[in-house]
Amino acid sequence: MKYYISMIICAVSFLYVQSSFAEKKKQSHDSNIEIFKTVQKKFNIKASADTKKYYAEIDYPDGLRRIDGWFDKHVIILLLVIDDVQAKNNITGNVGEIGVWQGRSFIPLMHLVRQDECALAMDCFELYQFNLDNSGGNMPKLLEMFTNNVKAYCSNFDVLRVIKGNSLELSSHDYLGKMENGKGFRIFSIDGCHEAQATIIDMKNVCECLVPGGVIEIDDYFNPSWPGVSEGVNAFMRENPNRLKPFFIGWNKVFFTHTEYAQLYSDMFKKFFVPQDLTIKKFFNVATLIYDKKP
Ligand SMILES: C[S@@+](CC[C@H](N)C(=O)[O-])C[C@H]1O[C@@H](n2cnc3c(N)ncnc32)[C@H](O)[C@@H]1O
């Protein structure tokens, strides 16, 4: 008898945990959809069906749909704002990322691709000998995992271009040469090897293939675990004065663009956030917007 009672208690607790877990997932999905609706309504910013689905599901805890990585989903909204500024100012070109890992931060870039544009994914993937700082660890089937994730969330899979190799051995010609449309890049995220020398090379290459008004998104600049990133960015900025300016810092990203376009982006971000959520500090000699609220 005792045995049956404890079995029943176990079963009931299991069902309770299951249902509250499902309810939590549903709430998180619904609140994510709400955020999108608000953003779209207020700023008339278009997000594709793919983006909405991804935003709602990116942090689902169940294995298949969750995409692991180091990318805060709020950055997706920042990317939509940047994309909107670019659309309104005829800034066109490809999008790309160095250091895609499983695709968590790359997939939102794929969603921004417009007609006649492509998306470039650059990573050493399972060529672990090139992963000098062990970022992301050693994953034997990383390229396959990445490709499957992109397929699952991007209905425009055909625009994907991949370079598998060592970014330290590449030049901007390799990136541009991979894009058969002959266009430069309008958004490029840098999140590969976090050592200083690698950061300098990646920044130099990306800077050389950026279209006028294009944006470079740097990960981990303020992350104390990866001091090589700020060391590399600072060295690049010293050697290339007045070429790029930062315009926004938030969610572990720093966004740069060509000096003459920085105001364009920061004006839009100022409209986008409520003023009390932003601070403005001089950074590389320019007034830069900072979102530093704890989640
Ligand atoms: C921190 S992970 C990227 C995370 C990803 N952007 C995200 O948000 O989920 C860094 C990536 O850089 C890649 N990587 C490291 N060194 C590299 C190199 N020398 N060339 C190309 N990719 C490299 C690693 O394979 C790994 O996938």
Residue spans of the domains in the chain: they are: 1-44, 61-291
* Ligand 1 neighbour 86 (Cβ under 6 A): no
- The pLDDT of residue 35: 61
**For position 240, what pLDDT does the model report?**
96
Q: Which atom of ligand 1 is nearest to the CA of 131?
A: 16
d(CA 89, ligand 1 centre) in Å: 31
CB-CB contact of 184 with 176 (8 Å): yes
Residue 136 CA to ligand 1 centre (angstroms): 6
Tokens found for residue 216: 């470079």
Q: Check if 205 has its Cβ closer than 6 Å to any atom of ligand 1.
A: no
- Return all residues near 160 (Cβ < 8 A) that are at least 6 apart: 110, 118, 119, 121, 150, 154
- Ligand 1 centroid–CA 193 distance in Å is 6
Residue 130: per-residue pLDDT: 95
Q: Hey, which CATH number is domain 61-291, 3.40.50.300, 3.20.20.70, 3.20.20.110, 3.40.50.150?
A: 3.40.50.150
Dist CA 196 CA 198 (whole Å): 5
Q: What is the pLDDT of residue 6?
A: 62
**Ligand 1 atom nearest to 219, measured from its CA:** 6
Residue ranges in 44-141 assigned as alpha helix (H): 49-57, 74-88, 106-110
pLDDT tens digits along 67-91 = 889 999 889 989 999 999 999 999 9
Burial zone of 170 (CB within 10 Å; 0-12 exposed, 13-18 middle, 19+ buried): middle
**What pLDDT score was predicted for residue 273?**
83
Q: Is 121 left (phi over 0), alpha (psi -120 to 50) or beta?
A: beta
Question: Tokens at residue 237, please?
Answer: 């900025």
Q: Is 136 in the pocket of ligand 1 (CB under 6 A)?
A: yes
- List Cβ neighbours of 148 (8 Å cut-off, separation of 6 or more): none
Is residue 152 lining ligand 1, measured as CB closer than 6 Å?
no
In this structure, what token pair is assigned to residue 13?
């607790």
What pLDDT does 32 receive?
56
Helices and strands: H and E segment counts in the chain: 9, 9
Residue spans of the chain under pLDDT 70: 1-44, 61-65, 294-295
Q: Which two tokens stand for residue 128?
A: 């672990």
Give nearest CA residue, ligand 1 atom 14.
Answer: 192
- Rounded to two decimals, the pTM is 0.88
139 close to ligand 1 (CB < 6 Angstrom) = no
Nearest atom, ligand 1, residue 128 CA: 25
3-state secondary structure of 161: strand
pLDDT the model gives residue 17: 45
pLDDT of residue 21: 46
